[in-house]
Amino acid sequence: MTGFIIGQKEKQSQTFDDKLERIPVTYIKTSPCYLIDIKIIKPNNDFSFKLGFGQAKKIKKSIQGELIKAGIKTPLRFFKEFRISHEMPIEIIEENQRKGVKINNNTIFIGQEIKPQLFFKKGDKVNVTGKSKGKGFQGVVKRHGFAGGPKTHGQSDRERAPGSVGQTTTPGRIYKGKRMAGRLGGQRVTIKNLEVIEVREDGLLVKGLVPGAKGGILEIKN
């Protein structure tokens, strides 16, 4: 089954499965989410679906015009594009001068709100993509898991140091990709094969944890 939707990380909690085993869960709010545009991407003729999520107080005129063209009155805040392979069983249709798409025996038209029940059901496996928490500039112990230097023999100030990083005369430089201190987190991360525990009217409850902080925007796809 092919499905995609935009959501917002709400809360992390725990529940019990059918075997009465305690499992971590994350609730992802997916309302309101609208289909804004459908395109065919060359040269592979892949499908491109543009979705909008969340409400904004003020929006740019260019975005406002795009929403009016799609027939959406809700001022949306976040926009994401989902690309699906042309090999998937998807059909683009037009009815009464309205452009839509037929996926999994469900028909969705541009300007229509997307509900999670259209694409997902209990037990499905989904991939969740989001921006991980940024942790700022960190050293090699936290960033790469280095052990640090010995705590004895007069090295009281070298416990979290990276140690030697260079070579001798040949080649006389640092290799690219050397593990050193730097910025940690704040990157696009995908967690694969999370199980859908419950499908609600306005969101999904998935097993496990998802990237980012509370309120972060997530892309859900299966």
**Type and span of the H or E element at 136:** strand 136-138
Domain-located, residue 174: no
pTM above 0.75, yes or no: yes
Regarding predicted confidence, which is higher, 124 or 106?
A: 124
Domain-located, residue 176: no
**Tens digit of each residue's pLDDT (9 = 90 or more) over 73-96:** 989 999 999 999 888 888 888 888
Domain-located, residue 28: yes
Domain-located, residue 87: yes
Radius of gyration for the alpha carbons in the chain, expressed in angstroms and rounded: 23
Q: Residue 67 belongs to what domain range?
A: 4-119+195-221
Domain-located, residue 127: no
Asked whether the predicted pLDDT for residue 33 surpasses 90, the reply is yes
Domain-located, residue 141: no
Give the number of domains in the chain.
1
Domain-located, residue 59: yes
140: three-class secondary structure by DSSP: helix
What is the mean pLDDT of the segment spanning 204-214?
Answer: 96
pLDDT at 157: 86
Domain-located, residue 126: no
pLDDT at 88: 85
- In angstroms, the CA 184 to CA 178 distance is 15
**Type and span of the H or E element at 142:** helix 140-144
pLDDT at 8: 97
**Type and span of the H or E element at 16:** strand 4-16
Pick from 124, 89, 123: which is nearest to 104 by CA? 89
Regarding predicted confidence, which is higher, 130 or 156?
A: 130
**Tens digit of each residue's pLDDT (9 = 90 or more) over 131-185:** 999 999 999 999 999 998 888 888 888 899 998 888 888 888 999 999 999 999 9
